[in-house]
Each structure stands twice: as structure tokens, then as C-alpha cells.
Amino acid sequence: MFRLDQKVAVITGGGSGIGRAISVLFAKQGAHVHILELDAANAKNTVTHIESEGGNATAHICNVANQKEIIAVFEMIGSADILINNAGIAHVGRVDNTSEEDFDRIMNVNVKGVYNCIYAAIPLLKKGGGGIILNLGSVAGIVGIPDRFAYTTAKGAVMAMTLSVARDYMHDHIRCNSISPARVHTPFVDGFIKKNYPGKEEEMFDKLSRSQPIGRMGKPEEIAYLALYLCSEEASFTTGCDYPIDGGFIKLNT
């Protein structure tokens, strides 16, 4: 079950964190993984790891916010069965202290970047007779999180895009779903805490961990397992859905 043999999977931000975990798992399950990354070192490291385990992976250094770059990369890849829109960035701030520059930066990566990749992938998925698009959302797009105005707005847009794409391309045999994680322990989180809470790293890590009722952050591999199911033939009846994976954050947090 859950094999991806002969499948071509394009994974944005596949060089680290959740994207790396998905890339490694999908390659293990038989897919040829194409990693779209801004960070060349992370991309190379992940490809090397996958190849050391007998898998197939190719790195493409590009910016998801640049449509011309993305279209060129997808044309180079030539065919695709799966697209994982994982690349994203964060921002701390409410609407009244979020600058236009920061708002645009979040929208360009977290919203336009998803649009660009879907735009470029649809012709390839159609050519192959169908496929799967999986977007990485967030619990922020469902319940809102304090001091995350731009990020919450972007993730809400990703959920709306998921519904629209699922509806518009259903008859092309293209399924589109999203996953909404709560906090997941990745190098991104460690860097985020260090940047925004200098000198209080341990305190903030503990606080953020305990904000999940289950008492800890998620693991990237746990998100990858759900992604694998949703991109497998076993999930062929599933489209237009969002799947929170949140340690009880949405339903049990008080």
C-alpha cells in the first residue's frame, strides 16, 4: 500500500523541514522526486541523502515567487503526477504593525508561490491524464493565531485555492487537498524562535510546544505520512478537503 512507483513528484521547499521529510518518504516509496528550492545547499543535501538510500531525486534551484522561473523548471521536468506546495515563510505581527513590504513578501511566497506552481503544473497533470496537488496550509488559516496577521491571511488563501482547484479540475482527474499542521519542530522553527525571541529560546520553545494539547510539537515525518496517504491511490476518493494534523490544537485548545 501507499506505493508511488513510476510517479513524478514535485515538492517545493523540499530541502528542509517538512518538505525534506516528504521528499525522503516519497522517494522511499518509489517516486522520482524533484525538489524546488531557494537554498542550494539544503537541496543538494536532501538529494544526496535520498540517493544514498537508493532513491531518485533532482534539485532545481528557483524562487517560487518568480513565475518565469517556475514555468521554466516545470517545462524542464516535462511530466508530473504529484505537486506538493510546501514552500513558505513566516512573519510576526498584527495588521497595524505589519508593513506593506512584509505583507507583500508573505503574499509573494505563500500565496503567489502556490499559484505559480499550480499554474505551471496543471498542463503537465492534464497531459498525464490526471494527478494530485497537495497544499500545505496551517491551523492559522482555520482559527487564527495572535500576532500572525499576514501569515494567517496567506494560509486562509491557500485553503480557498485548494477548494477552487479541486472543483475546477475534478473532471480532469486532478485531486487537490490541503494539510493544516499545528507547530512542527523543524530548523525553520528553531531559526524563527532565535530571530524573534533572542535570549528566550528555551522558554519560547517550551511555550510553543505546550500550545498543542498533546504537549509537544509535531514531527516532520508525521506530516509526511499524511501527505503520502493523500497522494496515493488509496486516497483516490478524496478531493477538496483540508486535513488538520495538530495535536488537538483546533478542537481541544481552551
pLDDT tens across the length of the chain (254 residues): 999 999 999 999 999 999 999 999 999 999 999 999 999 999 999 999 999 999 999 999 999 999 999 999 999 999 999 999 999 999 999 999 999 999 999 999 999 999 999 999 999 999 999 999 999 999 999 998 899 999 999 999 999 999 999 999 999 999 999 999 999 999 888 988 898 889 999 999 999 999 899 999 999 999 999 999 999 999 999 999 999 999 999 999 75
Q: What is the pLDDT of residue 179?
A: 98
Residue with cell 497522494: 231
Domain ranges of the chain: 8-184+219-248
Using alpha carbons only, what angle is made at residue 36 by residues 31 and 41, rounded to the nearest 5 degrees? Answer: 105
C-alpha cell at 248: 488537538
Which of these, 88, 104, 109, 113, lies nearest to 192 by C-alpha position?
88
CA–CA separation, 120 vs 104, rounded Å?
A: 22
Domain spanning 8-184+219-248: which superfamily? NAD(P)-binding Rossmann-like Domain (3.40.50.720)
151 is catalytic: yes
Q: Which of 115, 119, 151, 225 is catalytic?
A: 151
Q: What is the pLDDT of residue 254?
A: 58
